Amino acid sequence: MLIFSKAKLVLFSVPKTGTTAIETALAPHAAIALLDPPELKHAPVYRYNRFLRPMVEKFIGDEVETLAVIREPVSWLGSWYRYRQRPFLSGRPVSTEGLSFDQFVEAYLAETRPAYANVGAQSKFVEPRPNGTAITRFFKYEELQDCVAYLEERLELAISLPQVNVSPKQDLELSPALEARLRTACAADFHLWNSIPS
């Protein structure tokens, strides 16, 4: 998460949406850069609302724009699956080594998810709070250049994104029946992504 005081802007770091590259490029320009531990770097709206919003509103103002990038849900799960194929996770409960993408998604849809498929949901990450705290501007991961252009304008600087945290290439074809189940079970995530204007 990056907080820009002069621009009155908070950039949320939704996991697996390219925001690590944005943070790498923009952290030196932020008033506050929460890069570690992951619970702070990837603070969802509910955690921001409880712990960070009071500070931001007190010292920056209550008219702060909040921004998040959202990825197409199958691609988002595919990124988690590929990330957890990495050799350094081999043998750990979060590893997807030896699993097909179908098996990973089946586990994600299970009533009790195993550790390797317990990755949350983008719609829950950005879920508005009862007090009105919410993301005010969304961008699609697939059109990340639009987000970069917007940030360049808002922050009045040129941004060059580095290649960081890139998962290995892998086949991400889902069986049609399983994809249909995923679209039903995760309708909120598909609706969120589809609601973002291109």
% of the chain with per-residue pLDDT over 90: 92
Strands 65-70 and 137-140: parallel
Q: What is the pLDDT of residues 121-135, one digit of tens each?
A: 999 999 999 999 999
Q: What is the pLDDT of residues 152-180, one digit of tens each?
A: 999 999 999 887 666 666 778 999 999 99
In this structure, are residues 105 and 182 in contact, taking their beta carbons and an 8 Å threshold? yes
In this structure, are residues 66 and 12 in contact, taking their beta carbons and an 8 Å threshold? yes
Contacts of 2 (CB under 8 A, 6+ apart): 10, 11, 13, 22, 23, 26, 27, 30, 32, 33, 34
List domains and CATH numbers for the chain. Answer: 2-195 (3.40.50)
Residue range 132-147: mean pLDDT, rounded: 97
At residue 87, the pLDDT reads 94
Q: What is the pLDDT of residues 57-97, one digit of tens each?
A: 999 998 999 999 999 999 999 999 999 999 999 999 999 99
Question: CA 70, CA 162: separation in Å to the nearest integer?
Answer: 19
- Is this structure's pTM higher than 0.75? yes
Question: CA 191, CA 123: separation in Å to the nearest integer?
Answer: 9
- Residue 101 pLDDT class (50, 70, 90 cuts): very high
At residue 165, the pLDDT reads 62
In this structure, are residues 124 and 73 in contact, taking their beta carbons and an 8 Å threshold? no
At residue 198, the pLDDT reads 87
Q: What is the DSSP letter of 128?
A: P
At residue 158, the pLDDT reads 96
Residue range 50-54: mean pLDDT, rounded: 97
Q: Which phi and psi angles does 192 have, rounded to 5°?
A: -60, -50
- pLDDT at residue 21 greater than cutoff 70: yes
At residue 166, the pLDDT reads 64
In this structure, are residues 138 and 191 in contact, taking their beta carbons and an 8 Å threshold? no
At residue 167, the pLDDT reads 60
Question: CA 57, CA 73: separation in Å to the nearest integer?
Answer: 32
- pLDDT at residue 14 greater than cutoff 90: yes
Rg (the chain; Cα; Å): 17
At residue 113, the pLDDT reads 98
